Structure 1
Amino acid sequence: MASQNLQSALAPLTRRPIQTSLAAILTTTMLTWSYLDYRAYIALGPGGVPHNWFGWLAVTLFIRPFALSKSSATYTGDYPSEGGHDEMKNLSERKGERAEIGGIVPHRQLSQHAPEHMRESIQNLFANIVTANPATLESKRSLYERHNPALFVSPSLLSSPAAPSTAKTARGEIGHHHGDMSVHLYLSPADARLAIEKGWAERHRLSVPRTSWFANRYHVADSYVLVYGPRDEGEMEVLATILRCSARFMTGREVERAEWRQIIA
Protein backbone atom coordinates (compact mmCIF):
# COMPACT_ATOMS: atom_id res chain seq x y z
CA MET A 1 0.00 0.00 0.00
CA ALA A 2 2.77 2.42 0.94
CA SER A 3 4.58 1.61 -2.30
CA GLN A 4 1.43 2.27 -4.30
CA ASN A 5 0.89 5.61 -2.55
CA LEU A 6 4.47 6.66 -3.32
CA GLN A 7 4.09 5.67 -6.94
CA SER A 8 0.86 7.66 -7.15
CA ALA A 9 2.55 10.73 -5.68
CA LEU A 10 5.49 10.49 -8.09
CA ALA A 11 3.41 9.74 -11.15
CA PRO A 12 2.73 13.41 -12.11
CA LEU A 13 6.46 14.14 -11.87
CA THR A 14 7.45 11.27 -14.11
CA ARG A 15 4.79 12.25 -16.65
CA ARG A 16 6.09 15.85 -16.84
CA PRO A 17 9.89 15.57 -16.63
CA ILE A 18 10.59 18.85 -18.44
CA GLN A 19 8.24 20.90 -16.25
CA THR A 20 9.60 19.21 -13.14
CA SER A 21 13.20 19.94 -14.13
CA LEU A 22 12.42 23.58 -14.92
CA ALA A 23 10.65 24.02 -11.60
CA ALA A 24 13.63 22.54 -9.77
CA ILE A 25 16.06 24.80 -11.63
CA LEU A 26 13.97 27.91 -10.97
CA THR A 27 13.57 27.04 -7.31
CA THR A 28 17.30 26.43 -6.88
CA THR A 29 18.14 29.65 -8.73
CA MET A 30 15.76 31.73 -6.62
CA LEU A 31 17.00 30.22 -3.36
CA THR A 32 20.62 30.80 -4.36
CA TRP A 33 19.93 34.40 -5.41
CA SER A 34 18.00 35.09 -2.21
CA TYR A 35 20.78 33.69 -0.05
CA LEU A 36 23.52 35.68 -1.79
CA ASP A 37 21.45 38.86 -1.87
CA TYR A 38 20.62 38.52 1.81
CA ARG A 39 24.31 38.08 2.63
CA ALA A 40 25.13 41.20 0.61
CA TYR A 41 22.36 43.11 2.43
CA ILE A 42 23.70 42.11 5.86
CA ALA A 43 27.26 43.01 4.82
CA LEU A 44 26.16 46.62 4.24
CA GLY A 45 25.56 47.03 7.97
CA PRO A 46 22.59 48.57 9.79
CA GLY A 47 20.74 51.55 8.44
CA GLY A 48 17.10 52.56 8.20
CA VAL A 49 15.39 49.18 8.06
CA PRO A 50 15.88 46.18 10.38
CA HIS A 51 19.29 44.57 9.96
CA ASN A 52 17.86 41.07 9.62
CA TRP A 53 15.83 38.80 7.34
CA PHE A 54 12.67 40.88 7.79
CA GLY A 55 14.48 44.04 6.70
CA TRP A 56 15.89 42.30 3.64
CA LEU A 57 12.45 41.00 2.70
CA ALA A 58 10.89 44.46 3.10
CA VAL A 59 13.53 46.00 0.84
CA THR A 60 13.18 43.21 -1.71
CA LEU A 61 9.39 43.36 -1.93
CA PHE A 62 8.49 46.98 -1.24
CA ILE A 63 11.51 49.14 -2.09
CA ARG A 64 13.70 47.49 -4.72
CA PRO A 65 10.95 47.26 -7.40
CA PHE A 66 10.55 51.05 -7.41
CA ALA A 67 14.20 52.09 -7.09
CA LEU A 68 16.50 53.38 -9.80
CA SER A 69 18.81 50.84 -11.38
CA LYS A 70 22.51 51.12 -10.58
CA SER A 71 23.17 52.51 -14.05
CA SER A 72 20.51 55.19 -13.56
CA ALA A 73 22.17 56.51 -10.39
CA THR A 74 24.25 58.91 -12.50
CA TYR A 75 21.32 60.13 -14.61
CA THR A 76 21.01 63.94 -14.60
CA GLY A 77 18.60 64.58 -17.47
CA ASP A 78 15.83 65.74 -15.13
CA TYR A 79 18.05 68.34 -13.43
CA PRO A 80 18.46 71.91 -14.77
CA SER A 81 21.76 72.86 -16.37
CA GLU A 82 21.62 76.39 -14.95
CA GLY A 83 21.20 77.77 -11.44
CA GLY A 84 23.92 75.99 -9.51
CA HIS A 85 26.00 77.72 -6.86
CA ASP A 86 29.22 79.28 -8.16
CA GLU A 87 31.29 77.16 -5.76
CA MET A 88 29.81 74.02 -7.29
CA LYS A 89 30.50 75.24 -10.81
CA ASN A 90 34.12 75.84 -9.85
CA LEU A 91 34.73 72.36 -8.46
CA SER A 92 37.29 70.30 -10.33
CA GLU A 93 36.44 66.82 -11.56
CA ARG A 94 37.06 63.96 -9.14
CA LYS A 95 40.12 61.89 -10.02
CA GLY A 96 39.76 58.29 -11.08
CA GLU A 97 36.79 56.02 -11.55
CA ARG A 98 33.62 56.30 -9.53
CA ALA A 99 33.50 54.36 -6.30
CA GLU A 100 31.39 51.22 -6.27
CA ILE A 101 28.11 51.64 -4.40
CA GLY A 102 25.95 48.85 -3.03
CA GLY A 103 22.42 48.50 -1.75
CA ILE A 104 19.36 50.71 -1.73
CA VAL A 105 18.49 50.76 1.95
CA PRO A 106 21.12 50.75 3.35
CA HIS A 107 23.07 52.54 0.58
CA ARG A 108 26.82 52.28 1.05
CA GLN A 109 30.21 52.85 -0.59
CA LEU A 110 32.05 49.58 -1.29
CA SER A 111 35.36 50.74 -2.76
CA GLN A 112 37.81 53.67 -2.70
CA HIS A 113 37.12 54.25 0.98
CA ALA A 114 38.39 57.33 2.74
CA PRO A 115 41.42 56.64 4.98
CA GLU A 116 40.60 56.24 8.65
CA HIS A 117 42.21 59.55 9.67
CA MET A 118 39.54 61.40 7.63
CA ARG A 119 36.80 60.22 9.99
CA GLU A 120 37.55 62.90 12.57
CA SER A 121 37.65 65.57 9.87
CA ILE A 122 34.18 64.59 8.63
CA GLN A 123 32.82 64.58 12.17
CA ASN A 124 34.38 68.00 12.79
CA LEU A 125 32.82 69.38 9.62
CA PHE A 126 29.30 68.30 10.54
CA ALA A 127 29.63 69.52 14.12
CA ASN A 128 31.21 72.84 13.19
CA ILE A 129 28.64 73.80 10.58
CA VAL A 130 26.00 73.68 13.32
CA THR A 131 28.20 75.72 15.66
CA ALA A 132 28.74 78.32 12.93
CA ASN A 133 25.03 78.51 12.04
CA PRO A 134 23.04 77.92 15.25
CA ALA A 135 19.96 79.82 14.10
CA THR A 136 19.47 77.73 10.97
CA LEU A 137 20.93 74.29 11.64
CA GLU A 138 20.85 71.61 14.31
CA SER A 139 22.12 68.08 14.85
CA LYS A 140 19.98 65.12 15.92
CA ARG A 141 19.49 61.45 15.12
CA SER A 142 18.95 60.69 11.45
CA LEU A 143 15.39 59.87 10.42
CA TYR A 144 16.71 57.84 7.49
CA GLU A 145 19.50 55.88 9.15
CA ARG A 146 18.16 55.81 12.74
CA HIS A 147 21.60 54.90 14.07
CA ASN A 148 23.73 58.01 13.65
CA PRO A 149 23.56 61.81 13.96
CA ALA A 150 22.48 63.98 11.05
CA LEU A 151 22.31 67.64 10.05
CA PHE A 152 18.83 69.20 10.12
CA VAL A 153 17.10 72.44 9.23
CA SER A 154 16.13 74.20 12.46
CA PRO A 155 12.50 73.62 13.50
CA SER A 156 11.65 77.32 13.24
CA LEU A 157 12.76 77.45 9.60
CA LEU A 158 11.18 74.12 8.71
CA SER A 159 7.79 75.21 10.03
CA SER A 160 7.90 78.41 7.98
CA PRO A 161 5.67 78.58 4.87
CA ALA A 162 8.78 79.70 2.98
CA ALA A 163 10.72 76.51 3.77
CA PRO A 164 11.89 74.71 0.61
CA SER A 165 9.59 71.89 -0.45
CA THR A 166 12.51 69.44 -0.48
CA ALA A 167 13.23 70.24 3.16
CA LYS A 168 9.62 69.47 4.03
CA THR A 169 9.70 66.20 2.08
CA ALA A 170 12.88 65.21 3.95
CA ARG A 171 11.32 66.23 7.30
CA GLY A 172 14.18 68.67 7.72
CA GLU A 173 17.06 66.23 7.33
CA ILE A 174 19.84 67.75 5.23
CA GLY A 175 22.27 64.85 5.38
CA HIS A 176 24.46 62.52 7.39
CA HIS A 177 27.71 60.56 7.14
CA HIS A 178 28.16 56.81 7.41
CA GLY A 179 30.65 54.45 8.97
CA ASP A 180 32.25 54.01 5.53
CA MET A 181 32.69 57.82 5.47
CA SER A 182 30.44 58.36 2.49
CA VAL A 183 27.85 61.11 2.93
CA HIS A 184 24.18 61.42 2.00
CA LEU A 185 23.08 64.99 1.26
CA TYR A 186 20.32 66.93 -0.41
CA LEU A 187 21.48 69.37 -3.07
CA SER A 188 19.59 71.75 -5.28
CA PRO A 189 18.77 69.97 -8.55
CA ALA A 190 21.28 72.15 -10.42
CA ASP A 191 23.98 71.45 -7.83
CA ALA A 192 23.15 67.73 -7.89
CA ARG A 193 23.75 67.74 -11.62
CA LEU A 194 27.15 69.38 -11.15
CA ALA A 195 28.19 67.04 -8.33
CA ILE A 196 27.23 63.95 -10.33
CA GLU A 197 28.68 65.07 -13.65
CA LYS A 198 31.97 66.07 -12.01
CA GLY A 199 32.19 62.61 -10.46
CA TRP A 200 31.76 63.52 -6.78
CA ALA A 201 28.38 61.93 -6.19
CA GLU A 202 25.56 59.81 -7.50
CA ARG A 203 21.85 59.65 -6.82
CA HIS A 204 20.36 57.64 -4.02
CA ARG A 205 18.42 54.93 -5.78
CA LEU A 206 15.14 56.15 -4.27
CA SER A 207 15.85 59.66 -5.57
CA VAL A 208 13.70 59.22 -8.65
CA PRO A 209 12.75 62.07 -11.03
CA ARG A 210 9.82 64.26 -10.05
CA THR A 211 7.84 62.96 -13.03
CA SER A 212 7.87 59.43 -11.59
CA TRP A 213 4.73 58.27 -9.79
CA PHE A 214 7.09 57.07 -7.03
CA ALA A 215 8.52 60.58 -6.49
CA ASN A 216 8.86 61.68 -2.84
CA ARG A 217 7.85 58.27 -1.48
CA TYR A 218 9.55 57.23 1.76
CA HIS A 219 10.33 60.95 2.28
CA VAL A 220 13.08 60.88 -0.36
CA ALA A 221 13.09 63.78 -2.83
CA ASP A 222 14.64 63.87 -6.28
CA SER A 223 18.00 65.48 -5.46
CA TYR A 224 19.21 63.19 -2.66
CA VAL A 225 22.75 62.07 -3.45
CA LEU A 226 25.59 60.02 -2.03
CA VAL A 227 28.90 61.89 -1.95
CA TYR A 228 31.89 59.56 -2.07
CA GLY A 229 34.11 59.62 1.02
CA PRO A 230 37.01 62.12 0.85
CA ARG A 231 40.34 60.40 0.16
CA ASP A 232 42.60 63.34 1.04
CA GLU A 233 42.53 66.92 2.30
CA GLY A 234 41.74 68.31 -1.14
CA GLU A 235 38.64 66.14 -1.33
CA MET A 236 37.78 67.15 2.22
CA GLU A 237 37.63 70.75 1.00
CA VAL A 238 35.29 69.64 -1.76
CA LEU A 239 33.03 67.96 0.79
CA ALA A 240 33.00 71.17 2.86
CA THR A 241 31.88 73.09 -0.24
CA ILE A 242 29.18 70.58 -1.11
CA LEU A 243 27.88 70.51 2.48
CA ARG A 244 27.64 74.30 2.61
CA CYS A 245 25.71 74.42 -0.67
CA SER A 246 23.45 71.65 0.59
CA ALA A 247 22.64 73.57 3.77
CA ARG A 248 21.97 76.75 1.79
CA PHE A 249 19.51 74.94 -0.44
CA MET A 250 17.66 73.21 2.37
CA THR A 251 17.39 76.27 4.61
CA GLY A 252 16.93 78.94 1.97
CA ARG A 253 19.46 81.02 3.93
CA GLU A 254 23.10 81.97 3.69
CA VAL A 255 25.30 79.50 5.58
CA GLU A 256 28.77 80.09 6.99
CA ARG A 257 31.46 77.72 5.78
CA ALA A 258 32.65 75.26 8.44
CA GLU A 259 36.17 74.33 9.51
CA TRP A 260 37.06 70.63 9.44
CA ARG A 261 40.65 70.44 10.69
CA GLN A 262 39.62 70.86 14.33
CA ILE A 263 36.48 71.09 16.39
CA ILE A 264 35.26 74.63 17.08
CA ALA A 265 33.83 75.19 20.54
Structure 2
Amino acid sequence: MSLLQNKYAAALINPDVLRAHQKPILLATGITAVATPFLAYAWSCYREWLALGPGGMPYHFPGWLLQVGLHAVARSDTREPLPRPYKRLEDVAALYGAAGAKSYYNYSGDGPGQIPKRKGDRPTVPTFVAPQRQTSDAAPPATVAAQKAFLAAVAAANASLFEVRTSKLEGPLHQALWLRLPSPSSASADDDTTLRTRLGRGSDGEFAHVHGEGSVHVTLSPADAAAAIEAGWAERFGLAGWWGSRVVPWGFVMVYAPRDEGEFAVFRELVLAGARYVAEGAGVEVVAPAE
Protein backbone atom coordinates (compact mmCIF):
# COMPACT_ATOMS: atom_id res chain seq x y z
CA MET A 1 0.00 0.00 0.00
CA SER A 2 1.34 3.44 -0.92
CA LEU A 3 2.00 6.21 1.59
CA LEU A 4 -1.05 8.11 0.25
CA GLN A 5 -3.29 5.06 0.68
CA ASN A 6 -1.95 4.49 4.18
CA LYS A 7 -2.70 8.09 5.07
CA TYR A 8 -6.37 7.96 3.96
CA ALA A 9 -6.92 4.49 5.40
CA ALA A 10 -5.76 5.71 8.77
CA ALA A 11 -8.00 8.78 8.54
CA LEU A 12 -11.07 6.71 7.75
CA ILE A 13 -10.69 4.50 10.83
CA ASN A 14 -9.77 7.38 13.14
CA PRO A 15 -12.71 7.88 15.60
CA ASP A 16 -12.08 11.62 15.81
CA VAL A 17 -12.35 11.95 12.03
CA LEU A 18 -15.56 9.91 11.98
CA ARG A 19 -17.13 11.98 14.76
CA ALA A 20 -16.21 15.22 13.01
CA HIS A 21 -17.93 14.08 9.80
CA GLN A 22 -20.79 12.14 11.36
CA LYS A 23 -23.60 14.43 10.17
CA PRO A 24 -22.43 14.71 6.54
CA ILE A 25 -21.93 10.95 6.40
CA LEU A 26 -25.39 10.25 7.80
CA LEU A 27 -26.94 12.79 5.40
CA ALA A 28 -25.18 11.24 2.40
CA THR A 29 -26.20 7.76 3.53
CA GLY A 30 -29.84 8.86 3.95
CA ILE A 31 -29.97 10.52 0.55
CA THR A 32 -28.49 7.43 -1.07
CA ALA A 33 -30.98 5.16 0.71
CA VAL A 34 -33.92 7.29 -0.48
CA ALA A 35 -32.66 8.00 -4.00
CA THR A 36 -31.61 4.49 -4.94
CA PRO A 37 -35.13 2.95 -5.03
CA PHE A 38 -36.49 6.06 -6.77
CA LEU A 39 -33.80 5.95 -9.45
CA ALA A 40 -34.34 2.23 -9.93
CA TYR A 41 -38.10 2.82 -10.33
CA ALA A 42 -37.53 5.70 -12.76
CA TRP A 43 -35.17 3.59 -14.85
CA SER A 44 -37.70 0.75 -14.91
CA CYS A 45 -40.47 3.14 -16.03
CA TYR A 46 -38.25 4.63 -18.70
CA ARG A 47 -37.45 1.19 -20.12
CA GLU A 48 -41.15 0.26 -20.07
CA TRP A 49 -41.95 3.50 -21.91
CA LEU A 50 -39.26 2.81 -24.53
CA ALA A 51 -40.75 -0.64 -25.10
CA LEU A 52 -43.94 1.01 -26.41
CA GLY A 53 -41.98 2.28 -29.41
CA PRO A 54 -41.81 5.77 -30.95
CA GLY A 55 -44.92 7.89 -31.15
CA GLY A 56 -46.34 11.11 -29.79
CA MET A 57 -43.21 12.16 -27.90
CA PRO A 58 -39.50 12.44 -28.75
CA TYR A 59 -38.12 8.94 -28.36
CA HIS A 60 -35.43 9.61 -25.75
CA PHE A 61 -34.99 10.41 -22.07
CA PRO A 62 -36.06 14.10 -22.31
CA GLY A 63 -39.18 12.92 -24.16
CA TRP A 64 -39.97 10.55 -21.30
CA LEU A 65 -39.47 13.36 -18.79
CA LEU A 66 -41.86 15.54 -20.82
CA GLN A 67 -44.63 12.94 -20.70
CA VAL A 68 -43.97 12.49 -16.97
CA GLY A 69 -44.59 16.21 -16.55
CA LEU A 70 -47.83 15.95 -18.52
CA HIS A 71 -49.24 13.67 -15.84
CA ALA A 72 -49.97 16.84 -13.89
CA VAL A 73 -52.69 17.77 -16.42
CA ALA A 74 -53.60 14.37 -17.91
CA ARG A 75 -56.99 12.74 -17.33
CA SER A 76 -57.44 9.89 -14.87
CA ASP A 77 -61.02 9.16 -16.00
CA THR A 78 -60.16 7.79 -19.43
CA ARG A 79 -62.46 4.77 -19.04
CA GLU A 80 -65.49 6.75 -17.88
CA PRO A 81 -68.06 7.51 -20.61
CA LEU A 82 -68.35 11.14 -19.51
CA PRO A 83 -65.26 13.14 -18.58
CA ARG A 84 -65.35 14.72 -15.15
CA PRO A 85 -66.88 17.05 -14.06
CA TYR A 86 -69.62 16.67 -16.69
CA LYS A 87 -72.82 14.94 -15.58
CA ARG A 88 -74.74 15.03 -18.87
CA LEU A 89 -73.71 14.10 -22.41
CA GLU A 90 -75.58 17.14 -23.69
CA ASP A 91 -73.20 19.47 -21.87
CA VAL A 92 -70.14 17.89 -23.51
CA ALA A 93 -71.79 17.71 -26.93
CA ALA A 94 -72.74 21.39 -26.82
CA LEU A 95 -69.06 22.32 -27.05
CA TYR A 96 -68.94 20.95 -30.61
CA GLY A 97 -72.11 22.21 -32.23
CA ALA A 98 -75.14 20.23 -33.33
CA ALA A 99 -73.03 17.29 -34.55
CA GLY A 100 -71.67 16.63 -31.06
CA ALA A 101 -74.90 15.06 -29.79
CA LYS A 102 -75.35 12.74 -32.79
CA SER A 103 -74.28 9.15 -33.23
CA TYR A 104 -72.74 8.17 -36.57
CA TYR A 105 -72.07 4.51 -35.83
CA ASN A 106 -73.29 2.02 -38.47
CA TYR A 107 -75.32 4.84 -39.97
CA SER A 108 -78.11 4.04 -42.42
CA GLY A 109 -81.21 5.72 -43.73
CA ASP A 110 -83.01 4.75 -40.52
CA GLY A 111 -80.35 6.38 -38.34
CA PRO A 112 -77.38 5.02 -36.39
CA GLY A 113 -77.02 1.53 -34.98
CA GLN A 114 -76.09 0.58 -31.44
CA ILE A 115 -72.48 -0.20 -30.57
CA PRO A 116 -72.42 -3.79 -29.26
CA LYS A 117 -70.77 -4.66 -25.98
CA ARG A 118 -67.19 -5.91 -26.31
CA LYS A 119 -66.55 -9.37 -24.90
CA GLY A 120 -63.94 -10.07 -22.26
CA ASP A 121 -61.71 -7.74 -20.28
CA ARG A 122 -60.13 -4.58 -21.57
CA PRO A 123 -56.47 -4.88 -22.62
CA THR A 124 -53.66 -3.60 -20.44
CA VAL A 125 -52.92 0.06 -21.17
CA PRO A 126 -50.01 1.61 -19.23
CA THR A 127 -50.65 4.99 -17.65
CA PHE A 128 -48.14 6.85 -19.81
CA VAL A 129 -49.61 10.02 -21.31
CA ALA A 130 -47.97 9.51 -24.69
CA PRO A 131 -47.71 7.32 -26.51
CA GLN A 132 -50.97 5.68 -25.50
CA ARG A 133 -50.76 1.98 -26.32
CA GLN A 134 -52.11 -1.39 -25.20
CA THR A 135 -49.57 -4.00 -24.12
CA SER A 136 -51.82 -7.07 -24.17
CA ASP A 137 -54.05 -8.56 -26.89
CA ALA A 138 -51.92 -7.06 -29.65
CA ALA A 139 -53.15 -7.65 -33.19
CA PRO A 140 -51.00 -9.72 -35.59
CA PRO A 141 -49.15 -7.85 -38.37
CA ALA A 142 -51.67 -9.00 -40.99
CA THR A 143 -54.53 -7.39 -39.04
CA VAL A 144 -52.58 -4.14 -38.61
CA ALA A 145 -51.86 -4.09 -42.34
CA ALA A 146 -55.58 -4.59 -43.04
CA GLN A 147 -56.43 -1.71 -40.68
CA LYS A 148 -54.04 0.62 -42.46
CA ALA A 149 -55.41 -0.52 -45.81
CA PHE A 150 -58.92 0.31 -44.61
CA LEU A 151 -57.92 3.88 -43.73
CA ALA A 152 -56.40 4.22 -47.20
CA ALA A 153 -59.61 2.80 -48.73
CA VAL A 154 -61.74 5.37 -46.87
CA ALA A 155 -59.54 8.13 -48.30
CA ALA A 156 -59.69 6.66 -51.81
CA ALA A 157 -63.49 6.34 -51.70
CA ASN A 158 -63.84 9.94 -50.50
CA ALA A 159 -60.96 11.68 -52.26
CA SER A 160 -62.58 15.11 -52.04
CA LEU A 161 -62.94 14.79 -48.26
CA PHE A 162 -60.02 12.76 -46.95
CA GLU A 163 -56.39 11.93 -47.57
CA VAL A 164 -53.73 9.71 -45.99
CA ARG A 165 -50.48 11.37 -45.03
CA THR A 166 -47.90 11.47 -42.26
CA SER A 167 -49.36 11.77 -38.77
CA LYS A 168 -48.81 15.01 -36.93
CA LEU A 169 -49.98 13.59 -33.60
CA GLU A 170 -47.85 10.41 -33.68
CA GLY A 171 -44.87 11.47 -35.77
CA PRO A 172 -43.26 10.53 -39.10
CA LEU A 173 -43.33 6.76 -38.55
CA HIS A 174 -47.14 6.70 -38.67
CA GLN A 175 -49.66 7.42 -41.41
CA ALA A 176 -53.00 9.02 -40.59
CA LEU A 177 -56.38 9.80 -42.11
CA TRP A 178 -56.91 13.54 -42.52
CA LEU A 179 -59.92 15.67 -43.33
CA ARG A 180 -59.21 18.08 -46.17
CA LEU A 181 -59.97 21.31 -44.35
CA PRO A 182 -61.69 23.97 -46.43
CA SER A 183 -59.69 27.05 -47.27
CA PRO A 184 -60.51 30.13 -45.16
CA SER A 185 -61.96 31.83 -48.25
CA SER A 186 -64.48 29.02 -48.82
CA ALA A 187 -65.84 28.81 -45.28
CA SER A 188 -67.30 31.33 -42.89
CA ALA A 189 -65.35 32.20 -39.78
CA ASP A 190 -67.99 30.52 -37.58
CA ASP A 191 -67.98 27.31 -39.63
CA ASP A 192 -64.19 27.17 -39.61
CA THR A 193 -64.04 27.69 -35.84
CA THR A 194 -66.65 24.96 -35.21
CA LEU A 195 -64.87 22.48 -37.49
CA ARG A 196 -61.45 23.06 -35.95
CA THR A 197 -62.90 22.80 -32.43
CA ARG A 198 -64.57 19.52 -33.39
CA LEU A 199 -61.27 18.13 -34.66
CA GLY A 200 -59.08 19.67 -31.99
CA ARG A 201 -56.93 22.61 -32.96
CA GLY A 202 -53.75 20.65 -32.43
CA SER A 203 -54.67 18.04 -35.05
CA ASP A 204 -54.96 20.31 -38.12
CA GLY A 205 -57.48 17.87 -39.59
CA GLU A 206 -55.99 14.52 -38.54
CA PHE A 207 -58.66 12.29 -37.04
CA ALA A 208 -57.55 8.64 -37.23
CA HIS A 209 -54.35 6.60 -37.19
CA VAL A 210 -53.34 3.00 -36.49
CA HIS A 211 -50.62 2.00 -34.02
CA GLY A 212 -48.19 -0.85 -34.42
CA GLU A 213 -50.02 -3.16 -32.00
CA GLY A 214 -53.40 -2.57 -33.66
CA SER A 215 -54.99 0.03 -31.40
CA VAL A 216 -56.39 3.06 -33.18
CA HIS A 217 -56.82 6.69 -32.23
CA VAL A 218 -59.94 8.19 -33.77
CA THR A 219 -62.00 11.32 -33.20
CA LEU A 220 -65.64 10.41 -32.54
CA SER A 221 -68.63 12.53 -31.68
CA PRO A 222 -69.03 12.87 -27.91
CA ALA A 223 -72.11 10.63 -28.19
CA ASP A 224 -70.22 7.85 -30.00
CA ALA A 225 -67.14 8.24 -27.78
CA ALA A 226 -69.25 7.78 -24.64
CA ALA A 227 -71.01 4.76 -26.14
CA ALA A 228 -67.74 3.13 -27.30
CA ILE A 229 -66.13 3.61 -23.88
CA GLU A 230 -69.19 2.30 -22.04
CA ALA A 231 -69.36 -0.76 -24.32
CA GLY A 232 -65.70 -1.56 -23.59
CA TRP A 233 -64.22 -0.79 -27.02
CA ALA A 234 -62.20 2.29 -26.22
CA GLU A 235 -60.83 4.73 -23.69
CA ARG A 236 -60.24 8.45 -23.87
CA PHE A 237 -56.82 9.93 -24.58
CA GLY A 238 -55.26 11.41 -21.45
CA LEU A 239 -55.03 14.94 -22.87
CA ALA A 240 -58.46 14.93 -24.53
CA GLY A 241 -60.31 18.18 -23.93
CA TRP A 242 -57.26 19.75 -22.30
CA TRP A 243 -56.82 23.50 -22.70
CA GLY A 244 -60.19 23.94 -24.36
CA SER A 245 -59.59 21.09 -26.87
CA ARG A 246 -56.64 22.92 -28.33
CA VAL A 247 -54.78 19.60 -28.53
CA VAL A 248 -57.49 17.01 -29.22
CA PRO A 249 -61.24 17.05 -28.42
CA TRP A 250 -63.21 15.10 -25.81
CA GLY A 251 -64.15 12.54 -28.47
CA PHE A 252 -60.53 11.56 -29.21
CA VAL A 253 -60.34 7.95 -28.05
CA MET A 254 -58.11 4.90 -28.41
CA VAL A 255 -60.04 1.97 -29.86
CA TYR A 256 -58.56 -1.37 -28.83
CA ALA A 257 -56.97 -3.73 -31.37
CA PRO A 258 -59.46 -6.13 -33.00
CA ARG A 259 -59.09 -9.75 -31.92
CA ASP A 260 -61.21 -11.39 -34.63
CA GLU A 261 -63.25 -10.63 -37.74
CA GLY A 262 -66.26 -9.50 -35.73
CA GLU A 263 -64.19 -6.95 -33.83
CA PHE A 264 -62.56 -5.85 -37.08
CA ALA A 265 -66.06 -5.02 -38.35
CA VAL A 266 -66.63 -2.85 -35.27
CA PHE A 267 -63.28 -1.12 -35.89
CA ARG A 268 -64.40 -0.33 -39.45
CA GLU A 269 -67.68 1.15 -38.26
CA LEU A 270 -66.02 3.25 -35.58
CA VAL A 271 -63.58 4.73 -38.12
CA LEU A 272 -66.51 5.46 -40.46
CA ALA A 273 -68.41 7.02 -37.55
CA GLY A 274 -65.46 9.32 -36.96
CA ALA A 275 -65.26 10.15 -40.66
CA ARG A 276 -68.96 11.05 -40.80
CA TYR A 277 -68.66 13.17 -37.68
CA VAL A 278 -65.66 15.26 -38.73
CA ALA A 279 -67.11 15.70 -42.24
CA GLU A 280 -70.51 16.86 -40.95
CA GLY A 281 -71.54 20.03 -42.74
CA ALA A 282 -69.41 19.41 -45.83
CA GLY A 283 -72.52 18.62 -47.85
CA VAL A 284 -71.03 15.35 -49.13
CA GLU A 285 -71.97 11.88 -47.91
CA VAL A 286 -69.14 9.71 -46.67
CA VAL A 287 -68.87 6.57 -48.81
CA ALA A 288 -67.97 3.32 -47.05
CA PRO A 289 -65.37 1.39 -49.07
CA ALA A 290 -66.32 -2.04 -50.32
CA GLU A 291 -65.35 -4.89 -47.99
TM over 0.5: yes
Which residue of the partner structure matches residue 216 of structure 1?
245
Alignment-derived partner of residue 153 in structure 1: 179
Other structure's SS at 2:217 match: strand
Q: Given the alignment, which residue of 74, 77, 80 partners 2:79?
A: 74
When the two structures are aligned, how many residues end up with a matched partner? 249
Instruction: Assess if the C-alpha contact under 8 Å between 1:202 and 1:227 holds in 2.
Output: yes
CA contact (8 A) 1:215 1:222 kept: no
Name the SS of the counterpart of 1:196 in structure 2.
helix
* SS in structure 2 at match of 1:24: helix
**1:229-244 alignment, distance < 5 Å:** 229-244=257-272
Residue 279 of structure 2 aligns with which residue? 251
C-alpha spacing 1:238/1:86, structure 2 compared with 1 (3 Å):
closer
State the distance in 1 between where 2:164 and 2:17 align. 66
Q: For each residue in 1:159-189, what CA deviation from the matched residue of structure 2 results, as whole angstroms up to 9, or x when unmatched? A: 7342422225221111100111110001111
Structure 2 CA distance for partners of 1:24 and 1:91, relative to 1, 3 Å: same
> Is 1:136–1:157's contact at 8 Å kept on the other side of the alignment?
no
Percent identity at matched positions? 30
Could you say which residue in structure 1 is the equivalent of 2:221?
188
Give the drift of 1:237: 1.1
The amino acid that maps onto 2:198 is T
**CA distance in 2: counterparts of 1:225 and 1:65, whole angstroms:** 20
* Structure 2 equivalent of residue 84 of structure 1: 103
Note the residue ranges of structure 2 that are not aligned, 5 or more in a row. Answer: 1-6, 91-100, 107-111
From 22, 41, 47, the equivalent of 1:11 is: 22
Give the alignment of 1:135-150 within 5 angstroms.
Answer: 135-146=160-171, 147-150=173-176
Residue 249 of structure 1, CA deviation = 1.2
SS at match of 2:141: coil
CA distance in 1, matches of 2:174, 2:105: 31
| 8 Å contact kept, 1:207–1:215 | no
Measured after TM superposition, the shift of residue 9 of structure 1 is 6.8
Q: Residue 168 and residue 73 in structure 1: after superposition, are their counterparts in 2 closer, same or farther (change >3 A)? A: closer
> Max radius of gyration: which structure?
2
Taking structure 1 as reference, are residues 238 and 45 closer, same or farther at Cα in structure 2, changes over 3 Å only? same
Deviation at 1:34, TM superposition (A): 0.8
Structure 1: gaps (5+ residues): 261-265
Q: Does the 8 Å contact 2:68/2:129 carry over to 1?
A: no
- Say yes or no: does 1:34 pair with 2:34: no
Q: 1:197 offset after TM fit, Å?
A: 0.5
Greater RCO, 1 or 2 (C-alpha within 8 Å, sep 6+): 1
Change (3 A) 1:96 1:13: same
RMSD: 2.6
Deviations 1:84-110 (A, max 9, x none): 235364221111001111232111111
Equivalences for 1:52-131 in 2 at 5 Å? 52-61=60-69, 63-69=70-76, 72-77=77-82, 78=86, 80=89, 83-85=102-104, 87=106, 89-102=113-126, 103-131=128-156
Bigger shift: 40-49 or 80-89?
80-89
